[in-house]
Amino acid sequence: MKHHYLFILSLALGFASAASAGQSNSTADLFRIGYFELAPHIVQGPDGELYGPALEYTQRILARMGNPAYELKGYPVRRALQMLQSGEIDMVLFAAKTPVTDREAYVMTDSNIVLLRPALVVKQTSKLAEPIAPQDLFDTTLAYWSGGHIPDLLRHSEINLVRVSGEAVYERGIRMVELSRADAFFHVDGLALRWWLKNRATTNDVRLVPLPIQVEGKSLFSQESAQRYKAAYEYALNAEQEIQSYTDFFLNYQFEDTSVLSGRSSH
């Protein structure tokens, strides 16, 4: 089992787990990182421990930073952003670049951890296909993860958006499509959807339709913490990406037990 890799993209199943590493320093010297769950990047294993490709990839980044003393805790998305703004944490490890995160209160990494291609899951018989235009989605019902960003492409009065929240977001959203309760299931993380359909799909009745947009996945600092940590973190991130991108690492990652994976949302 990969031990104590508490890290990115996870709500930690709704409870605040924590880990620290590096030499023994005072709390003031800790690199305090907040994260929230977005399976399958980070998941809870059969033994209750968190693990996943995002966790291990960040261990590489922290090692390149010289393994500073750090603390990582899971929070709901909104709570993590509030804590970053108030100075209670130094960084949110992963967040999509949206109008909510691209504000003066936050400082984003210049480099992307990953470049996301949002996508739809539709029935094989659906008329929806690339390239998708807004009018193609008029008079349709789209299920979407309540914790994710909704791009302008989908924000139209003629498109009916239905929230999917709580646990097992992927399964429930895709199931809504299979049962014709929704015409499509949207998620900002097309990479995760592609993995899900390949490894966890219980039917061949659905397919993936990428949208003609990209969303940058970055780390967020506060104005103050950026002065202290951003340069070293970004240097380490770029150095690791030159060896292997996170996308490649994710697609080649061997999960211990895919039956335990679930997509959860944060509130």
Q: Global pTM?
A: 0.76
Of the listed ranges 43-57, 133-147, 206-220, 237-251, the least confidently predicted one is 43-57
> pLDDT value at position 52?
82
Is residue 168 within 8 Å of 263, Cβ to Cβ?
yes
> pLDDT value at position 18?
42
How many residues make up the chain in this entry?
267
Q: SS3 for 28? A: helix
Determine the Cα–Cα distance for residues 76 and 55; give it in Å rounded to an integer: 18
Of the listed ranges 102-106, 169-173, 196-200, the least confidently predicted one is 102-106
Is residue 88 within 8 Å of 161, Cβ to Cβ?
no
Residue 181 has pLDDT above 90, yes or no: yes
Q: Which position has the higher pLDDT, 19 or 160?
A: 160
Determine the Cα–Cα distance for residues 33 and 208; give it in Å rounded to an integer: 33
Distances (CA, A) of 251 to 85, 108, 191: 33, 25, 9
- Long-range pairs for 224-229 at CB < 8 Å and ≥24 separation? 224/87, 225/84, 225/87, 225/90, 225/91, 226/107, 228/90, 229/31, 229/90, 229/91
Which stretch, 34-48, 90-104, 124-138, has highest mean pLDDT? Answer: 124-138
> pLDDT value at position 1?
44
Where do the structural domains in the chain lie, given as residue ranges?
Answer: 12-113+218-260, 118-210
Per-residue pLDDT reduced to its tens digit, 17-39: 344 444 445 566 899 988 776 77
Determine the Cα–Cα distance for residues 2 and 207; give it in Å rounded to an integer: 32
In the structure, what pLDDT confidence band is assigned to residue 262 with cuts at 50, 70 and 90?
low
Is residue 220 within 8 Å of 103, Cβ to Cβ?
no
* Buried b / exposed e along 13-35 (16+ C-beta atoms within 10 A): beeebebbbbeeeeeeebbbbbb
Looking at domain 12-113+218-260, its CATH class is: alpha beta
Count of Cβ atoms closer than 10 Å to residue 232 Cβ = 15
Domain 118-210 in CATH 3.40.190.10? The answer is yes
In the structure, what pLDDT confidence band is assigned to residue 40 with cuts at 50, 70 and 90?
confident
> pLDDT value at position 199?
80
Percent of the chain with pLDDT over 90: 43
> pLDDT value at position 107?
92
Of the listed ranges 9-18, 25-34, 61-70, 223-232, the least confidently predicted one is 9-18
Percent of the chain with pLDDT over 70: 82
Phi, psi of 161 (to 5 degrees): -100, 130
